[in-house]
Amino acid sequence: MIRRLLPALIAATAGAQVWVDPKLPDGRKAIERFESAWTLTNPDPLKCEVRPIQPMLTFSFRYQAGFFLTLPLYQMDPGGSQVTMITSVRPLQAAQPVYFLQSFKVPKFPFENVSKRVAGEAGGGFYLGPGEYEVRWLLEDHRGRRCAESWKTRLKLSRAEKKQPQPLEPDTITPLILSGWNAESREGRPYRISILLHAAPSRLRGTALHPFDQALLISSVAALLEKTSMVEVSVTAFNLNQQR
């Protein structure tokens, strides 16, 4: 029970991933903190596993890339922890990266008694245009302990895909924010429908929907709304994998 409950509880406290605006004081502070921590030695590292997700085409016809994080919980403080993740994504043909930030709280719990096999999960993502990118990722807790990873990702379009209009220009990075749906702008015969959405983590043993999963699911609903004349929609989400 603990093996399932703890990761789900921690995932529930995770905040949304946000784009870091370098023009704002808090944004500049977060970027400076990331760049400084990236160059420092890490004498007391946190153990974690980061699995990159290569670009994939979503139902909104955008290419989404990202990562999954697995963090063993025995390392967390029994009195609770504050954890921050910052992701830097830079086109190899450009000098200026784009930054994303996500933070979450780890609740109070006697983690020293938890098996090393029990881990919390989190994830993040972003939309990409065609090109090659360098991704740097850093996790830091309130004690300054860090876990870092870097990788390269590439979105190469096929000959057929190049003939189609693309939502993003080459070497472009945007957050997982979808365009709004305006019911008043719908034309033609109006429809009122109910959508039944199978909302399950993309990772087989996942315990919660992370930002990457959420964007993938929402994009499927958004793509449906953008192409129809619906004026009223209700969505019922469930997980068939948890049905007995």
pLDDT digits (tens, 9 = 90+) for 128-151: 999 999 999 999 998 889 999 999
Question: Is the pLDDT at 210 greater than 80, yes or no?
Answer: no
What digits encode the pLDDT tens for the residues 164-206?
Answer: 888 899 999 998 765 555 555 555 556 778 888 888 877 666 6
Q: Enumerate the domain spans of the chain.
A: 2-177
Multiple choice CATH, 2-177, 3.90.230.10, 2.60.40.10, 3.30.70.980, 3.10.180.10:
2.60.40.10
Q: How far apart are CA 139 and CA 128, in angstroms?
A: 22
Which parts of the chain fold into alpha helices (H)? 2-12, 25-39, 159-162, 211-226
Contact 195, 218 (CB under 8 A): no
What digits encode the pLDDT tens for the residues 67-88?
Answer: 988 888 888 888 888 899 999 9
Q: How far apart are CA 81 and CA 15, in angstroms?
A: 14
Q: Which residue has the higher pLDDT, 205 or 65?
A: 65
DSSP 8-state secondary structure symbol assigned to residue 53: E
Strand order in the sheet with 63-72: 49-57, 63-72, 119-128, 173-174
- At 12, the pLDDT band (50, 70, 90 cuts) reads very low
Q: How far apart are CA 228 and CA 91, in angstroms?
A: 35
- At 224, the pLDDT band (50, 70, 90 cuts) reads confident
Find, among 13, 217, 12, 213, the residue nearest to 124 by Cα. 213
Question: Is the pLDDT at 104 greater than 80, yes or no?
Answer: yes
Reported pTM: 0.75
Residue 198: phi and psi, rounded to 5, are -80, 100
